[in-house]
Amino acid sequence: MQRAAVVVLLIVLTVAGCTREGAVQRAPSTLIVAMAQEPVALDPLLLEGKPAYAIGDVFYSYLTNYDAGGRIAGDLAREVPTVANGGISKDGTRITFHLRHDARWQDGTPVTAADVVFSYRAVMNPANNVQTRYPFELIGSVRAPDPYTVVVTLKRPFSPMISWFFGGDDNYPILPAHLLARLPNLNAVPFNAAPVGSGPYKLDRWDHGDRLVLAANDAYYGGTPRIAHLIVPFITNDSTTIGELQSGEIDAAFLLDASRIGELRAIPNHRVVVTPVPYFYAIGFNLSDPLLADHTVREAFALAIDRRSLTRKISQGVYDAGTAMRGLFSWAFDPAADTMRYDPARARQLLHGRKIHVELSFATGNSITTRFATAIAEEEHAVGIDVSLRQYDRTQFVSLDGPWMQGRYQVSLYDYQATYDPDASWILACSQRAPHGFNLSRYCNPRVDALLERAASSYDRAARIAAYGEIQRQIAEDLPLDFLCQISEVDVIPATLGGYAPPLLSPFRSVASWYWETAKS
């Protein structure tokens, strides 16, 4: 799943200089946006999760996107296809996008339907190292009957395709066919370090190991961004980020450590925005491991964790254990589905005095993850499960040849990034079992598969909600995953930064609208 959310990025917005009182001396033409992790490429097809969203939103464009209210809106597409406007066929298998005529690549070449067709083929090209092709496998054909029309024919009705096909739920943007179509693959090409996009900003230079320097795209169809220059240094330490916020060296930050929200709220001349997002912490059980294939062991492991107390303590009340499944199922969340409760006595009974040892693997780079892992190990020990902790670099952990994708783990702890559409096939369907997708538990239940297909084939929201409710109850019983909590994004922004929109999936979705307001007296 490019959606697996899989890499938590800390993104910091800064501007140079500050007064002794900590008020930022704003340069109206410049904003410094620091990332906690340097991307491996500037082509989102080779990225996943938050890095892909950030790079995609800054440099590139999508067919559709989400507005701040969670509604699908046109981007390169002039309007969102519906049955009413003729964009979706009555049988739900044909979707037609009509493109705007004023979009240009940053070299001046028009953006056309041929670019969309090429981008689809690039995703499906087996020579390209994309992490998932879901749900593009459900497409029968993509064609361009004219330069500004794209017709997508599906193998079966699949309503999430509207937001997945180069849309708001997808971190694959449109790529330039005139520059890339002749290449056999996109894995190691000059474009990855010097991209030509159609988005609000273009690359000035990439100082590897240090920063990106970006300039506003004057020809951007959405209007020239009011902040002319973005400087993107790579800052890897959470404490450094927060310390520089406090000192005034750093102006604003996204995706900050929730456990330090008290410190963040004390920073003068800033405001803290807490937004529940479709991210969640979950324990994943490797069902191909003989020990974890035993449902009794998984149930005992889950019963031993006081998720509500741990979440409240570790996140300082920011994350919500009661809505953990909402992090995956969004607007189709059923609050009654997850019946797992803290019951260490029952966990001991299930184990019948057995002494069990398991290894819990997780990615470094987020201090809250480490705190969760340590606390979970302590609670498991209390019921007779000995847990050893195994840490991995994030890039290594989620890579195609890494331990998670290749099944070289027993139990995992991860902060997943889902999609706003509640389709959960990417993490639950039999066909998406890793390494062919992001079903990292290797879970397969034909009933769940049938329900996933029923839900996604309908364009009626009520019918979809009913089917996803059944799915939630089934996976709560099967336990391929133990949902810990829903994550809320913690953003700290200066009082004088305008145009910021609370994130739905990525705060960078509003980057073209950011501006500095007149300083208040």
38-233 classified as CATH 3.40.50.1100: no
What is the architecture of the domain spanning 277-488?
Roll (3.10)
Question: Peptide bond before 135: cis, by omega within 30 degrees of 0?
Answer: yes
Q: Coil, helix or strand for 395?
A: helix
Length of the chain: 521
Per-residue model confidence as pLDDT tens digits over 420-436: 999 999 999 999 999 98
Nearest to 470 by CA among 329, 341, 342: 329
Comparing CA positions, the residue from 509, 60, 14 lying closest to residue 229 is: 14
Distance between start and end Cα atoms, the chain: 47
| Half-sphere exposure in the Cβ direction for 353 (13 Å, CA) | 0
Closest by alpha carbon to 486, among 256, 276, 260? 276
How many Å apart are CA 111 and CA 421, to the nearest integer? Answer: 27
Cα→Cα distances 55→89, 223, 300, 446, 506, Å: 33, 19, 41, 37, 11
CA dihedral 494, 233, 29, 24 (to 10 degrees): 30
Q: Which long-range contacts (CB under 8 A, 24 or more apart) does 239-248 make?
A: 241/10, 241/12, 241/34, 241/36, 244/12, 244/14, 245/12, 245/270, 245/492, 246/22, 247/18, 247/22, 248/18, 248/19, 248/22, 248/23, 248/24
CA contacts within 13 A on the Cβ side of 517:
11
Strand partners, 417: 279
Q: How many CA atoms lie within 13 A of 2 on its CB side?
A: 30
Tell me how many degrees the CA angle 146-148-154 measures, rounded to the nearest 5: 80
One-letter amino acid identity for 51? P
C-alpha 232/C-alpha 226 separation (Å) is: 17
- pLDDT for the residue numbered 18: 39
Q: What is the C-alpha separation between 379 and 346, in angstroms, rounded?
A: 14
Lookup: tokens for 466? 């009913």
CA dihedral 426, 427, 429, 434 (to 10 degrees): 90
Residues 26-83: tens digit of each pLDDT:
456 888 877 778 899 999 999 877 788 889 999 999 999 998 888 999 999 999 999 9
Phi, psi angles (nearest 5°) of residue 494: -70, 150
The domain locations on the chain are 38-233, 277-488
Distance of alpha carbon 271 from alpha carbon 251, whole angstroms? 11
Alpha carbon distance 115, 362 (integer Å)? 38
Contact 104, 77 (CB under 8 A): no
Q: How far is CA 273 from CA 113, 250, 422, 427, in A?
A: 38, 17, 24, 29
- 8 Å CB contact between 16 and 247: no
- Alpha-carbon distance 354 to 47, whole Å? 42
pTM for the structure as a whole: 0.85
Half-sphere exposure for 93 (CA within 13 Å, toward CB): 8
State which residues of the chain have pLDDT below 50: 1-24, 26, 519-521
Nearest to 282 by CA among 427, 168, 394, 422: 427
pLDDT at 247 (0 to 100): 84
Structure token digits, residue 166: 């180069």
Spatial separation of the C-alpha atoms in residues 79 and 151, rounded to whole Å = 14
